[in-house]
């Protein structure tokens, strides 16, 4: 048995009941279950339809995300999340670079790395090198003035935790950022790279080994092994090419507002909903959210 979930942006809340019913009838689905009025609905179908991606493309034009997945086992026991452009709106290294006066140069490298055009580790080393001499104290300033959480992140983490799940933040960014974000959102642990400083200034280098694509896969394997879980028990979410390993290994890998190359390799794509969409995908209704 498969479950079809339809989700629109929480700001507009304009999911049309007629659209849900028409699709349900076309695919021979069961009764519609509204997870949030005008925002998210689901229904069960016997098998995934052949025209799934054609319908997905049509629905995207109306700001509706479509997810089809097995009904059994969709509620996960672990959340593994990327940070930059996933749990926060920004790329932390781009924000540091903007303060250091090299914002445009670093942002271009970041965009190419996240789209898979550049090797992640080499790109990180190059970008961090451009931060050499930046006062270490400016990290706190960037955190205070430039970093904001992605909508729905607190609800996602804490609703899953309230139902017994474990939450880990794993980033190719930096520990100074993941520590603050993890504490604010309620993650159980965080892993990231370490910016090296000396005499109050960044040295332009980053600690080794660098946490990149392979390290995110290793984190998934390490944490699930420690908790007695399997990869199938994991919901992973990210947006960049360095997230693909963990997204493809996890039971549910979600491409959230992701780069085109990432979306192309993920069956669960959220382009219009916020992070609460990951709760709807698991069958949580809005009145179950921890806020």
- List the catalytic residue out of 38, 58, 82, 233: 82
Measured in degrees and rounded to the nearest 5, phi and psi for residue 253 equal: -110, 120
Catalytic residue at 267?
Answer: no
Calpha distance 124→206 (Å, rounded): 8
CB 32 within 8 A of CB 21: yes
CB 42 within 8 A of CB 36: no
- List the catalytic residue out of 16, 31, 84, 205: 84
Measured in degrees and rounded to the nearest 5, phi and psi for residue 177 equal: -90, -45
Catalytic residue at 84?
Answer: yes
- Cα atoms in the Cβ-side hemisphere of radius 13 Å centred on 8: 20
Which residue carries 């028990």 as its tokens?
A: 233
Contacts of 231 (CB under 8 A, 6+ apart): 220, 221, 224, 249, 250, 251
Distance spanning both ends of the chain, measured CA to CA: 31
Within 153-289, residue ranges assigned H as helices are 153-162, 175-185, 213-227, 244-249, 260-263, 277-281
Taking alpha carbons only, the member of 146, 5, 155 closest to residue 68 is 5
Sign of the CA dihedral with 2 first, then 59, 252, and 282 last: negative
Residues classed as catalytic: 82, 84
């Amino acid at each position: 048995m498969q479950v079809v979930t339809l989700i629109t942006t929480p700001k507009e809340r304009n999911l049309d009941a007629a659209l849900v019913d028409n699709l349900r009838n076309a695919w021979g689905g069961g009764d519609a279950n509204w997870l949030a009025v005008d925002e998210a609905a689901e229904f069960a179908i016997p098998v995934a339809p052949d025209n799934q991606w054609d319908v997905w493309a049509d629905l995207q034009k109306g700001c509706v995300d479509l997810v089809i997945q097995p009904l059994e086992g969709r509620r996960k026991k672990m959340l593994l999340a990327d940070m930059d452009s996933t749990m926060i709106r920004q790329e932390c290294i781009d924000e540091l670079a903007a303060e250091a006066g090299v914002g445009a140069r670093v942002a271009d490298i970041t965009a190419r790395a996240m789209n898979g055009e550049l090797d992640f580790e080499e790109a990180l080393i190059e970008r961090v090198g451009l931060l050499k001499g930046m006062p270490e104290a400016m990290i706190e300033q960037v955190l205070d003035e430039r970093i904001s959480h992605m909508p729905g992140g607190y609800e996602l983490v804490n609703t899953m935790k309230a139902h017994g799940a474990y939450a880990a933040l794993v980033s190719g960014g930096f520990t100074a950022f993941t520590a603050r974000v993890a504490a604010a959102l309620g993650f159980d642990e965080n892993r990231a790279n370490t910016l090296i400083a000396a005499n109050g200034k960044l040295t332009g280098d980053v600690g080794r080994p660098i946490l990149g694509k392979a390290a995110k896969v290793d984190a998934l394997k390490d944490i699930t092994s420690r908790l007695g879980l399997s990869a199938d028990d994991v919901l992973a979410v990210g947006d960049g090419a360095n997230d693909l390993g963990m997204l493809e290994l996890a039971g549910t890998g979600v491409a959230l507002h992701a780069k085109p190359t990432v979306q192309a390799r993920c069956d669960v794509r959220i382009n219009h909903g916020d992070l609460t969409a990951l709760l709807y995908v698991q069958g949580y209704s809005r009145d179950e959210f921890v806020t």
